[in-house]
Amino acid sequence: MQLRDSAVAVLHPLVLLNISEHVTRTAAQVECSKGKSDSPKTPAVLGALLGRHTEGRYELFLSFELTLENAGESGELNINSENFEIRLEQLKLIFPNDDFLGWYVVSSDLNVTRMMTTLHSKIICTYPSALLLVFDASLSGGSTASSGYSLPVAVYETHQPTAVSRSKLELYTQINDTGDRPQEKAEYYVEVTNDAKVLNDPNAVMASKLVPLRIAIDSGEAERVATEHVANISKTVAEDTIVPTTSGAGGSGGSGPSSAPEPGIYNDSSQVVVFLSSQRIAVEMLQKDISVLKTYVGDVLNGNAPFDPDVLQIVQRVLSNKPVVMNDEIFDLARAQEETNYQMVSYLAGMTKAVSAVRSVSFRANAALVSARNSNMPNVNPSQDGIFDVSMSGVMMMMGGGGPSRFGGRSRGFGGMR
C-alpha cells in the first residue's frame, strides 16, 4: 500500500511506553489466570491517542486505555463510551492543548482486521478523521511500508468517505477450516454508517479509505531523561528480580539441591520497589566511591600512594560543597527552627481561611437582612446597612465599649439594645 508523503505521524516515547506496558500487563494477567481456567480468553488491548494536529502533521503525546463491552446478545464489541468520556475529560483538564486524534490496537501483525474496521467505523461517527495505530505485539519486524525505524507500528489516516464497491470492504479470504487469511497488498476501507447519501448502485457503499502514514520519532529533553531513567531502572530490577540461592553442599555430582533460582525480595515490580531499588543502588555506589577516596587519601598520608594535587583538589572542592554537620546540637536547633517555621505557616494559612469564612458569613447575613427589611423585618432601622458593622464604631460596640446605637440610645456591650 502506497504511503501518503504529505502527512506524517510523530510518535513520542510516552505513547510507545504506555502501549508496551499495556501489552505486558495484559499478557501477565492472562498468564496468571491460566491456573484458574483451562483456556483463559485474551482480552483486546486498545486505547485512545491524544496529541495535536497541524496541517499534515499528527503529533501523538499521550495515550490511555479503553475498555470494551458486549452489546446485547449479538456479542458485538463496543467501546465503553462513559469510561472514555471521563478519562478524556480528566486528561483535557491537565493537558488542555491536546485533543483526541485516534486510537491504538494491539495485534499479532500490522494488518487491519475485521474487528478493527468495526470499531473504527463507530469511532469515525464522532471523530471523522481519527487515526488508527496498529501495534505488532509479536515484534516480528518493523513495518517497511510505513516506517523507517523498524518499529512494530503502523499508523493509518482516515480519508473522506467516497462511494466504493462493497467488495473492497472484504478484508479476508476464507481458507478451508483454518481461519481467515489477510489479502496481499489489500487496500483497507471502513464503511461510514452515518452517511446519509443515497447511492444509485446497490453494490456501492460510502466508505473511508485507510491510508498508511510515514512515522517519525520525536522527544523533548524531559522525555529523553525519563526514557533513559526507565531503561536503566528496568535493567537494574531485571537483574535483581531473581536471586539464585543454594542450599546444601550439592556439587556437580552430588544429590543436594541445585542452585535453582528462587524469587528474591525484589520480585515485586511495583513502583515502590523500583524506586527503592534505585535508591539502594545509588547509596551503594556512593559508599564505594567514598571508600575509594578514603583509602587513597589514607595511602597518600602514609606515603604508600603518589601525591596527586589535582585529585586532592577535586576531593577538597567536593567536600567544601557538601554541608557537613559536626555538632548535633546545631543540627537539632536548625531542625527545630524549620519545624517551627512550617507550623507557623500552617497556622497562618488556617487563620486566613477562618477569617475568609467569617467574612463570607457576614456578607451573606448582611445581604439577607437587607432583602428582608421591607417585608419580614418592619422594625429594623432603615439606616442600618446590615447586622455586622465592620467600622471602628461597630468594633467598639462589639468589644463592649458602648457608643451611640443605630436603634437609639446607647448600646450596652456586645449587641447592646435600649
59 CA to centre of own chain = 17
One-letter amino acid identity for 151?
Answer: L
Q: C-alpha grid cell for residue 92?
A: 483535557
**What would the mean pLDDT of 227-237 be, rounded to a whole number?**
63
Please state the domain extents for the chain.
4-219, 223-242+264-321, 328-387
The answer to whether 277 and 237 have CB atoms below 8 angstroms apart is yes
| Residue ranges with strand state E in 170-284 | 172-174, 180-182, 188-191, 204-217, 242-244, 261-263
β-strand 4-11 against 242-244: which pairing, if any? unpaired
- For 129-153, b/e burial (b = at least 16 CB within 10 A) is ebbbbbbbbeeeebbeebbeeebbb
* Most confidently predicted of 216-225, 240-249, 298-307: 298-307
One-letter amino acid identity for 202?
Answer: P
The answer to whether 154 and 145 have CB atoms below 8 angstroms apart is yes
**DSSP helix/strand/coil, 219:** coil
How is residue 380 annotated by DSSP?
S
Cell 575509594 belongs to 292
Cα separation of 333 and 51, whole Å?
A: 51
- For 50-61, b/e burial (b = at least 16 CB within 10 A) is bbeeeeeebbbb
One-letter amino acid identity for 263?
Answer: P
Per-residue pLDDT of 347-403, as tens digits, reads: 999 999 999 999 999 988 888 888 877 555 555 555 555 555 544 454 444 444 444
Residue 258 binned pLDDT confidence (cut-offs 50, 70, 90):
very low
Cα separation of 279 and 269, whole Å?
A: 15
Cα separation of 329 and 345, whole Å?
A: 24
Q: What is the CATH number of domain 4-219?
A: 3.40.140.10
Per-residue pLDDT of 159-184, as tens digits, reads: 888 888 877 777 654 444 444 555 54
64 HSE (CA, 13 A, CB side): 15
